[in-house]
Each structure stands twice: as C-alpha cells, then as structure tokens.
Amino acid sequence: MSQIDDLPPLRDVIETHGLRAKKSLGQNFLLDLNLTARIARVGGSLTGAQVLEVGPGPGGLTRGLLAEGAAKVLAIEKDARCLPALAEIAAAYPGQLTVMNADALTVDTGAHLAAPWRVVANLPYNVGTELLVRWLTPASWPPPWESLTLMFQKEVAERITAAPGSKAYGRLAVLAQWRCDTRIALTLPPEAFSPPPKVHSAVVHLTALPAPRFDAEADVLERVVAKGFNQRRKMLRAALKGVVPDLEDRLLSAGIAPTERAEQVSLEQWCALARAVAS
C-alpha cells in the first residue's frame, strides 16, 4: 500500500490522542488513507481547490484532501478531542489547513473560503441531511460552492439520486436534481469504518448546474414538494389540499392528473406545478 503522507497511521493517531468514537457525534472513522484519497478525487483534481470539510475527526479525509493538492481546507469539527490530531496535520501542511472547533450548522463558510469552493465530507449522520438541504437552498443560484462530495448512509444517497416512480424518490431527489447533477460515486461496506456502522454507506457527488433545470420559485417548489411527499400514498388532490384555491385546475395545467401520487410526478412537472401555484 502506498503512503499518501509522512504522518503516522490513523490507528496510531486515534490511540495517541485517545479518540474513542462517540455515537452521539456520529463518529465512524475512515482509517484507510488510500480510500480517503480516492474519496478526495471523486470530483476530479483538487489542485488549487478551496475545500470545506465538515467533521474531520482524526483527519483521515483531511489528509486525503491535502495530499491530493487542495490549496486550502477549512475543517469544522465539533469534538474538541480531535484538535491535537488535526493540529499535527496543519503543521505538516503549513498555511493550508484551518481547523475550527464549532458546530458546522453555525458557521458561515463564505466568510472563510473564496468561492467557488467544494465540500468534501464524511458527514455526521445526525446533521448530514440538514446540511445538504441548506447547501441546496441558498438565497440565489448558482451557489458559492461548485460541488459536494458527501458520504451518507446508502439509503440517503439513493434518495438523493432517485428517479420518479421509485420508492426512494422524494423531496431530497427533487431539491437536489432541480439544480445539480447527482451520482453515487462509490458504495462502502460497514467494515470500511471504525467502528463499523449498522448500514452500508455511499459517496454522492453533486455538481451545481449554472441554472436550475426548469423555471420555478424555490420557496414555492420546496413547499409544494414537501407537502406532496408528506402524504406520499395519497392522491395529489388530497395530499396538496389547502395549498392553493383551484388546486385541480392547477394540477391539470401542470400536466398532472389530480389522482396521481407524488412519487409519479417528474421534476419537470413539479416545477410546472410550482409555477401554476405561484401564478
């Protein structure tokens, strides 16, 4: 196995700094540095890139990002126990790694990185979806980031990339695919992590499109889609009841039969419905 840097193996780092994984912080660490370098490369060359990493933990993925040529990495870690291990990486890459001991939900990334930045993260499962939805719903588009390479539970990754008509298709698929290209780049078994989680994981790669695929007001689309999928077994004329007067006419004008269910509606139809609701 080739070495990606001259720092100690991650098992030694964890041992030295007493980083026993905490379930409450979603800590499942990646220990194979060749794998973390591979994840870092999912979005193409990182040479010169500005990268946000959420939850670096002992720094396996951080080391992958820096070894792959990232010019600057902002790593936000809630667990102060990880800071000494991350300081060793910062010392090995002078001026390239900034570590913040904070909750990623409270940090304004734009204040620390020059756009367009990328996000590469093995996300803590408890805040992963919330962070993704925030990145997908900024006030204006295109966003300050150009791509997101994110580790999720495989089931969540499938919800992001799902096609209409499938069980996994829902709000996350519509929000993500409206403004991004999405793909599952790799899937990983539980044994790839320490400690192993109960489920398989997958790395999703999202690339921001210069403009949304179809016209729609973001807040209207989000509201209609959330309500439609909230009662996904119901016909849309029932699931969307009360959203707008003349609901059935507006569904029909968007090319959607009022008897259809949310999971049968394409992205283009959701956007047409959002326009009909807004008009």
Taken in order 123, 124, 127, 128, the sign of the CA dihedral is: positive
Residue 226 found at the interface with ligand SAM (CB under 6 A): no
Query: How many C-beta atoms lie closer than 10 Å to residue 71's C-beta?
Result: 14
Give start and end residues of each alpha helix (H) in the chain. Answer: 10-16, 33-40, 60-67, 83-92, 125-136, 154-161, 171-179, 218-230, 236-239, 247-253, 267-278
Residue nearest to ligand SAM (CB): 55
Q: Which is nearer to ligand SAM, 125 or 169 (CB)?
A: 125
Per the DSSP assignment, residues forming a β-bridge with 148 are 119, 206
Dihedral (Cα; 80, 135, 34, 103), 10-degree rounding:
0
- φ, ψ of residue 148 in degrees (nearest 5): -125, 125
Provide the residue type at 211 as one letter. A
Q: Which is nearer to ligand SAM, 98 or 269 (CB)?
A: 98
# residues near ligand SAM by CB under 6 A: 23
Residue 63 found at the interface with ligand SAM (CB under 6 A): no
- φ, ψ of residue 117 in degrees (nearest 5): -105, 165
Q: Which is nearer to ligand SAM, 85 or 265 (CB)?
A: 85
Residue 76 found at the interface with ligand SAM (CB under 6 A): yes
Provide the residue type at 65 as one letter. L
Task: In angstroms, give the least distance from the CB of 77 to ligand SAM.
Answer: 5
Residue 79 found at the interface with ligand SAM (CB under 6 A): yes
Q: Scanning residues 88 to 127, which ones bind ligand SAM (CB under 6 A)?
A: 103-105, 122, 124, 127
Residue 60 found at the interface with ligand SAM (CB under 6 A): yes
Task: In angstroms, give the least distance from the CB of 126 to ligand SAM.
Answer: 6
Q: Are 84 and 59 in contact (CB under 8 A)?
A: no
Residue 265 found at the interface with ligand SAM (CB under 6 A): no
Residue 56 found at the interface with ligand SAM (CB under 6 A): yes
Question: Residue 195 carries which DSSP code?
Answer: S
Q: Which is nearer to ligand SAM, 54 or 265 (CB)?
A: 54
Task: In angstroms, give the least distance from the CB of 109 to ligand SAM.
Answer: 12
Name the residues that contact ligand SAM, by CB under 6 A.
25-30, 54-57, 60-61, 76-79, 82, 103-105, 122, 124, 127
